[in-house]
Chains A and B, each alone.
Chain A
Amino acid sequence: NFMLTQPHSVSESPGKTVTISCTRSSGSIASNYVQWYQQRPGSAPTTVIYEDNQRPSGVPDRFSGSIDSSSNSASLTISGLKTEDEADYYCQSYDSSNDVVFGGGTKLTVL
């Protein structure tokens, strides 16, 4: 099986841009789609990015996703940070056996 490694925490000021990385330990990041979920305290996760770079309806275009085969990683970028973006963010993917893996989560602080 593989792992997805995320930074434990990131912080940035309102109005700035932040990028959260998600590195796949084995197998190609491009082989299987990556999703990103936002989780606020006491709430269930909700999708901010699916299929590497697609936004569900209702998610602002300040959220974008990408993958980089050279670093075997995916990234979630949030521009024009708002205090409401403060939350935990999880990346998620799967492998050819349909085993699902979540990253450890990144706590985003907007200060």
Chain B
Amino acid sequence: EPEVTQTPSHQVTQMGQEVILRCVPISNHLYFYWYRQILGQKVEFLVSFYNNEISEKSEIFDDQFSVERPDGSNFTLKIRSTKLEDSAMYFCARVDPQVTDTQYFGPGTRLTVL
């Protein structure tokens, strides 16, 4: 059973539309991360989120992106106005509280922007 679940598993959207990707931890964690992987390319860091605040973000994470934890449980990544180049797998990851270096990834959401 995955320790982190993500919904939806696949999202198809039109360019310019807003999408919200969700990450649901099984147990209570403080650290969360979002990564993306464009097809055929490497996994890239987007943003880290600690104790309900962004702790670090990459150059990719521009004003079109936002993260929040609206209900203290689900962890969301929002893309306000999607572009074709946002098509990718988006992975949520959490840290093992016993071994804070180690990250475990959710199954991902495949985003397709048409």
Do A and B share a complex? no
